[in-house]
Homo-oligomer: A and B are copies of this chain.
Amino acid sequence: MRKLPAKLASQLYGAAELIAERGLDGTKIEDIAEATGIPKATIYYHLDGKNAVLEFLLGDLLDMIAGAVGVAVASEENARTRLEAAVQAQLGVMLEHPSLCRALVGDLGRATRLPELAAALRTAFYEPIEQLLAEGVSDGSLRQVADPGAVALSVFGAITLAGLSAAVEGPSADPSADAARLSAAVSELVLDGLATPGSRDQRRSEPL
C-alpha cells in the first residue's frame, strides 16, 4: 500500500456513505469504483483490496479523533475540565463524520482484526482517557477508582455509544450544536453519576 495521492484520497470519501449503508460485504468493488469515480484497476493499483479502502477511511477518522482529543487533553485546566473537553472533542468529530462512524460500527470486527486500526483505535479513544483518569487523581479533580482500566473503558463506551447512535440517527442540520448537547449529557453522567445524594446512604459504604 503506497501513500495514496491526495486527489484519490478525497475521492475515496465518496465511498463512505455507501459502505456505511450496506457494510463492506454488501459493497462491491465495482460499486466503490462507480461511487468514487476511481476505476477498479486504479483502486487496485494503489490499495491492497477492499479492506484497505476501509482501513484508509477509518484510519483517517481515528486520526481526526485522536488529534481533537489530544488538543483537548493538552490544556492547562484540571483533569476534570479536560475530561469534559475530551468528551466534547470526540463527540464533535464523530457527529461531523456520521457516515464514517457508521462504517466504523458496521465493520468494527474487520477493523479490530486489522492490526493497525486496532492500534489507532486505542490511541484515539482509550489511552487519552486512561491518562486523564490518572492525572485527575493527582490534581484532585477526579476520584480515585478501584479499577481504572475498567472505568476508562466504560467512559470510552459511554462516549462512543452516544456518538455512534447519534451518527446512526442520520446527519443533523447542526452537528456542533448536537455535539454540545450530547456531550453535556455524557459529561453529566460521567462526572456526577446518576444517584441522588439521598439514595447514596442506602449503600454499604466502603471508602475507596
Contacts known (A147-B185, A185-B147); A83 close to B194, Cβ less than 8 A: yes
How long is the Cα–Cα vector from A136 to B196 in the complex, in angstroms?
9
| Majority-rule SS of A interface residues | helix
One digit per residue, 1 when the CB lies within 8 angstroms of any chain B CB and 0 when it does not, for chain A 79-122 equals: 01101000000000000000000000111111011000000000
Q: What are 20 A-B contacts with C-beta separation under 8 Å?
A: A25-B110, A26-B113, A80-B195, A80-B199, A80-B202, A105-B112, A106-B108, A109-B109, A141-B195, A142-B194, A143-B192, A145-B189, A146-B184, A147-B182, A147-B185, A151-B189, A154-B158, A154-B159, A157-B158, A192-B195
| Contact of A109 (CB < 8 Å), options: B23, B140, B158, B200 | B23
Please state if B160 and A161 are interface contacts (CB–CB under 8 Å). yes
Copies in the complex: 2
The answer to whether A143 touches B109, judged by C-beta atoms less than 8 angstroms apart, is no
Q: Chain A residues in contact with chain B, CB under 8 A?
A: 23-26, 78, 80-81, 83, 105-110, 112-113, 133, 136, 140-143, 145-147, 150-151, 153-162, 165-166, 181-182, 184-186, 188-196, 198-200, 202, 208
Q: Please name all residues of chain B whose beta carbon is closer than 8 Å to the beta carbon of A191 when the two chains form the complex.
A: 193-195
Contact assessment for B158 and A155 in the assembled complex, using a CB-CB cutoff below 8 Å = yes
Say whether B151 contacts A161, CB under 8 Å: no
Task: With A145-B194, A158-B158 given, name 14 new contacts (CB 8 A).
Answer: A25-B110, A105-B108, A108-B108, A143-B193, A151-B188, A151-B194, A154-B157, A154-B189, A157-B157, A157-B161, A158-B161, A190-B193, A191-B193, A193-B193
Cβ contact of A181, chosen from B147, B186, B208, cutoff 8 A: B147
Cα–Cα, bound, A192→B105 (Å):
29
CB-CB < 8 A to A155: which residues of B? 158, 189, 194
Distance A160 CA – B136 CA, assembled complex (angstroms) = 24
